[in-house]
Amino acid sequence: MLFFTQCFGAVLDLIHLRFQHYKAKRVFSAAGQLVCVVNPTHSLKYAPTRCAAAQTSTEQGALPPCHHHDAVHDPQLVPCTCPLFSCPWEGHLEVVVSHLRQTHRINILQGAEIVFLATDMHLPAPTDWIIMHSCLGHQFLLVLRKQEKYEGHPQFFATMMLIGTPTQADNFTYRLELNRNQRRLKWEATPRSVLECVDSVISDGDCLVLNTSLAQLFSDNGSLAIGIAITTSKVHNAEAEM
Amino acid sequence: MLFFTQCFGAVLDLIHLRFQHYKAKRVFSAAGQLVCVVNPTHSLKYAPTRCAAAQTSTEQGALPPCHHHDAVHDPQLVPCTCPLFSCPWEGHLEVVVSHLRQTHRINILQGAEIVFLATDMHLPAPTDWIIMHSCLGHQFLLVLRKQEKYEGHPQFFATMMLIGTPTQADNFTYRLELNRNQRRLKWEATPRSVLECVDSVISDGDCLVLNTSLAQLFSDNGSLAIGIAITTSKVHNAEAEM
């Protein structure tokens, strides 16, 4: 009996996923872009003191700012950058991606332009939607967070961070784009490094910020599609000059 | 003595205006666009019931939704669309522009692309910054409003409205663009008609919305520069297809 219940659950999940993909393809069929359906994760940690030192000394070789171990450690080691968990892991920057994939099961996508389809936008805050994005020889972490900065008024915050140093991050520009019902909202900025905490980027408000009403205007049946593009900063500067 | 005090005040005003223009030119010198310095106006009316019927019957020929006279009236007459005052004036759509210029002293600017430089962003809510924009044979009303939708959390709302009917408004697309410190935020939408109240557009959140922190990121010394462009919808659709 338990076996049949589980089978039925699995079939329902498959139907749900198929429906989500269909929805995503319908929204972005013309663009021919890779669509990634991202399910929400209820965040297990919101420790405000975790990244107290995030604003200082974030250059290559400096002490990792989000450090949360008291023992003396190798300065080249980076703590886990996953914004979902207070994870005790630390390792070299080069192995952060494999840690995020294996331990936190965060998907990684290839391609210069992808569509991030966040489902179940109605879920209560705090909730995160996370993927990694591999592009131009680097990996980026895209975080969409629903959070109540002011009690009773949830907002959506979206940002992109380079899994690399701040110096490397300065070479890129990321663009987040919402497009629906003859409305378009674009945010372009230089990605931050994962050595700076995502929590501090969001608390500074230096990212794409959406009120609930705007998020609803851009959502389709509870899902929000965000077009993502990454370019090198030289291209961005040339555009600005034009 | 009073004469000398007034003269001194006038000279100070001139120096202040000159400084504002210099600042605006510095921000947008590369673009070669027309810069309009817009000073804030503390709104004298915030009557929430004024536009109770704004969501219905806004098509051409229908009863103007922001009607606030009880007497039977000519259905072709439009009430004053100035969002600043509860003004008893009403007249034909064709004379709304001259009423706004003459009675409410709202400036009008020519050109497809202009820069709206709102000064004194720090002033407490509610505050409005308003200009008219003449372009493509029509006049548009640009409203930037600082308002506390949630007590203690002021936000900035920017929208563009056509001084015309909703059917005419559907032919256009407006773009508002903020650009500073390698960050760019763009909002594109179809303008609403002034027959729909600006208050309802803002309460729906169907406009460019900025938190105080984002507004500060884009501000330069207390002034916010918004690039404005208006196109016909056909151009917009062609861009979307690309």
Nearest to B214 among A182, A209, A217 (CB): A209
pLDDT number for residue B192: 93
User: Which residues of B are less than 8 Å from A150 in CB distance?
Assistant: 150, 152-153
State whether B185 and A186 contact (CB < 8 Å). yes
Neighbours of A212 (CB within 10 A): 16
Q: In three state form, how does the secondary structure of A131-199 look?
A: EEEEECCEEEEEEEEEEEEECCEEEEEEEEEECCCHHHHCCEEEEEEEEECCEEEEEEECCEECCCCHH
Q: Which residues pair with A228 in a beta bridge?
A: A114, A176
CA distances (Å), origin A73, targets A77, A82, A94, B66: 8, 20, 17, 67
- The third-level CATH classification (topology) of the domain covering A32-39+77-232 is 2.60.210
* CB within 8 Å: A187 and B185: yes
- Cβ of residue A229 closer than 8 Å to a chain B Cβ: no
Res B181 pLDDT > 90: no
A174 → chain B, closest CA residue:
B183
- Residue A239 near chain B (CB below 8 Å): no
Averages of pLDDT over each 10 residues, chain A, 242 residues: 58 52 46 70 51 36 38 62 71 84 85 88 90 92 90 90 93 96 95 87 90 91 94 62 45
Q: Show residues of chain B in contact with A173, CB under 8 Å.
A: 182
Q: What is the CA radius of gyration of chain A?
A: 18
Give the torsion through C-alpha atoms of B75, B77, B83, B86, to 10 deg: -90
Q: Would you say residue B134 has pLDDT above 50?
A: yes
Q: Find out whether the peptide bond into B126 is cis, omega within 30 degrees of 0.
A: yes
* ipTM of the prediction greater than 0.85, yes or no: no
pLDDT tens-digit map of A168-205: 999 999 999 999 988 999 999 999 998 888 888 888 88
Q: Six-digit token pair at A174?
A: 């990321």
Give the Cα separation of B15 and B24 in Å (integer). 14
Q: Which residue of A has its CA nearest to B202?
A: A213
Phi-psi region of B131 (alpha: psi -120 to 50; beta: other; left: phi over 0): beta
Q: Is B190 on the interface with A (CB under 8 A)?
A: yes
Q: What are A161's two structure tokens? A: 């961070």
Q: Which residue in B130, B188, B125 sits closest to B163, CA to CA? A: B130
Of the candidates B117, B123, B124, B120, the one whose C-alpha atom is nearest the C-alpha of residue B158 is: B117
State residue B69's pLDDT score: 40
Element spanning B234, H or E: helix B233-241
B234 near A CB under 8 A: no
Lowest mean pLDDT among A2-16, B35-49, B170-184: A2-16
Which residues of chain A neighbour B241 with C-beta distances below 8 Å?
30
Alpha helices in chain B (DSSP H): 2-28, 96-104, 166-169, 198-204, 212-218, 233-241
pTM: 0.74
Q: With 0-12 CB in 10 A as exposed, 13-18 as middle and 19+ as buried, what is B34?
A: middle
